[in-house]
Amino acid sequence: MLPGSIQITGEALSGAEIKDICESLKEDSVRLLSVRGCQLSDRDFGRLCRGVAESRSLAQLNLNLGVVSGVARVKHLADALKSNRSIQTLFLHGSPLLDAGLVALNAALSTHPSLVSLDLGDCMLGDEAVQLICGMLPPDGAKSGLRELTLSANPAITTKGWARLAIAVAHSSQLRVLNLDYNPLGDQIAGMLAVAVASSRTLEVLDLEGTGLTNQSAQIFLDMVENYPTCLRVLVLAENAISPELQQQISDLLSEGEEDENKEAEARGISREKTMWLPHSNASSQMVLVTSGLGDSLLAETEM
């Protein structure tokens, strides 16, 4: 029997329910486990983590919306990730980790053999956490690194932290998707990110929705897309003080670039990887990637 999924949202989970989930995990019958926004005791969270540690089939784990609360739970999760070898996508969006929490998780995250997609949005992170995250974006391909990273809504990160991340993104050998939406970035940091995108050989999607940008930033991105070859295919600029005309120009240029790549690939007899795209809820011309980068076998959840 092929591994299935367990998806529960916003419920209070009993000890018996956690026991059932753990048994399924130990039987390697679960590929996707989502308990986003659920309430469970610290003891049951520890039991759940032990089940995760023993699972050889689990590829996606969603603990969004405060499930990982407190130092004890962070330690349980870190121990589970040290033993687990199969998880490819980890969602911790809305968990009050702080920098200390990421310090506790760092060893397990940075050495995990399969992890390629990590969501740390709205986790109250700062510059210390960003420094650790940069270590998960190796520049030379000598070790496995993240292909998708979400750092949405972490306003405590300063210009120094974003600058450090921009450097890491510029030299990352694997990162394809970067979501920085709803951070107070502004035009200065956006300029740094434009340089990073121009330097990157892998980045395809950059989400800057609601990040305090103006036409100044958009013009820089437009010049970059128009004059320099990049891998960028999608740039999300919704909910910024940017004119619709500039957004459309950028979108058109990115679309032209993708069409040219497809034609070149067809001429060479190469089949390009198919990617699923869905329209962004607040912008008719913008698109948002919703796959987890794991191929056709697994789609990442998109709701927070």
Q: What is the pLDDT of residues 135-154, one digit of tens each?
A: 999 998 777 899 999 999 99
What confidence score (pLDDT) does residue 297 get? 34
pTM of the model: 0.86
Q: What is the pLDDT of residue 262?
A: 52
For 229, residues 6+ apart whose C-beta sits below 8 A from its C-beta are none
Q: What is the mean pLDDT of the chain?
A: 87
| CA separation for the pair 87, 92 (Å, rounded) | 13
Q: Could you give the percent of the chain with pLDDT greater than 90?
A: 80
Q: What does DSSP assign to residue 214?
A: B
| pLDDT band with cut points at 50, 70 and 90 for residue 235 | very high
pLDDT at 206 over 70: yes
Residue with tokens 């039991």: 47
- Cα–Cα distance between 6 and 32 in angstroms, integer? 6
* Residues 60 and 298: beta-carbon distance below 8 Å: yes
pLDDT at position 271 is: 42
pLDDT number for residue 256: 86
The partner residues of 119 in beta bridges, in order of sequence, read: 91, 150
> For residue 118, is pLDDT > 70?
yes
The model's pLDDT over 13-54, given as tens digits with 9 standing for 90+, comes to: 999 999 999 999 999 999 999 999 999 999 999 999 999 999
Answer yes or no: is pLDDT of 292 > 90: no
C-alpha angle 194-195-196 in degrees, rounded to nearest 5: 90
* Position 298 confidence tier, pLDDT thresholds 50, 70, 90: very low
Q: 86-95, 180-189, 258-267 — which is least confidently predicted?
A: 258-267
